[in-house]
Amino acid sequence: MTIITHFERAALPHPDTAKGTFWAAVGAEWVKLRSVKSTVWSLLVTVVITVGLGALLCAAIVARWDHLDPFERLTFDATARSLSGIFLAQLAIGVLGVLVIGSEYTTGSIRTTFAAIPRRRTVIAAKAAVLAAVSLVVGLIGCFTAFGIGQVILQGKHVGVSLGDPRVLRAVVGGAIYLTAVAVIGFSMATVLRRTPGALAALFAVVLVLPILSNALPSPWDNNVSKLLPATAGESLFSTRAAGDILTTGHAIIVLAVWVVVTFTAAMIAVGRRDA
């Protein structure tokens, strides 16, 4: 019997470049993201909460409008009011960010993923890119819809604003950017921790618990600490006034960017060093 020791196969269809593997990984991650129900649910819940809770809070203020004192009416931010569903919706999109990588570690499929693409940082970058793109699109849909419906409700007391008014468009887009940032921060935390529950706890602590704790600090520490938190930055981004008058839009973007960059860098370092 002759033993054939050379296996003939077709040449690889694509040259191997870093760019080539990145786009291949993006294609794979897009298939993964759209092919599990939890993704669809997280995204749907994000939109429903942003729109639904925003509408509810707008209706509530309209009902109380005649009883508000002049100061409250003067400082009323119609844009921020219609977008305030984001406070809750950020949890849904944050869960998606955590699950995108957390489920790979929980199920062990990360090993299948890394066997197909041994360049782990390429995998993490591709996952983050797909997650960010999807979160931004869904965030924009949610924020624009919430804004539109909210303003119709607020117009009942003639306090609605339009997208053409100063800083309004920026605030609506800012809301979507904040949701995207929360998703990526959650993703990065889950990559470092490799555990879904731990990462959810860490993310919720940062976006929910820390703002409450910082408010409990004595002045001026409350504002000083609060300024550094992503939630404060987010609030500033989707308001037409500086949130609590402590962060300008420019500073808010910097704070949020630092959170995203630091956590994502930690994820990239962690993933390259460990056994999968």
Q: Compute and round to an integer the Cα radius of gyration of the chain.
A: 22
Which of 24, 28, 189 has the alpha carbon at shortest distance from 109? 28
User: Which position among 48, 72, 257, 276 is part of the footprint of other proteins (CB under 8 A)?
Assistant: 276
197 binds other proteins (CB under 8 A): no
Q: How much helix, strand and coil, in percent to the nearest 5, is found in the chain?
A: 75, 0, 25
Q: Does 152 bind other proteins (CB under 8 A)?
A: no
Are 121 and 272 in contact, with CB atoms under 8 Å apart?
A: yes
Question: Is 14 a binder of other proteins (CB under 8 A)?
Answer: yes
> Tokens representing 17?
């470049």
Nearest-angstrom CA–CA distance, 154 and 77: 11
Q: According to the binding rule CB under 8 A, does residue 133 interact with other proteins?
A: no
Nearer to other proteins by Cβ, of 32 and 241: the residue is: 32
Interface with other proteins (CB under 8 A), residue from 70, 108, 164, 166: 108
Interface segment toward other proteins; rule CB under 8 A; list 4-12, 45-53, 130-138, 259-267:
4-12
31 vs 261, beta carbon nearer other proteins: 31
Q: Does 35 bind other proteins (CB under 8 A)?
A: yes
The single residue among 19, 70, 115, 250 that binds other proteins, judged by CB under 8 A, is: 115
What are residue 173's phi and psi, to 5 degrees? -65, -40
Residue 220: asked if its preceding bond is cis (omega within 30°), the reply is yes
Q: Is 112 in the site for other proteins (CB under 8 A)?
A: yes
- Spatial separation of the C-alpha atoms in residues 7 and 51, rounded to whole Å: 58
What does the DSSP assignment read for 76-95?
--HHHHHTTTHHHHHHHHHH
* 19 lines the binding site for other proteins (CB under 8 A): no
Q: How far apart are CA 3 and CA 74, in angstroms?
A: 87
Minimum distance from CB of 199 to other proteins (Å)? 17
Query: Per CB under 8 A, which region of 104-112, 160-168, 204-212, 239-247 contacts other proteins?
Result: 104-112
Q: Is 104 in the site for other proteins (CB under 8 A)?
A: yes
* Interaction site with other proteins (CB under 8 A): 3-10, 12-14, 16, 20-21, 24-25, 27-32, 35-38, 103-104, 107-119, 275-276
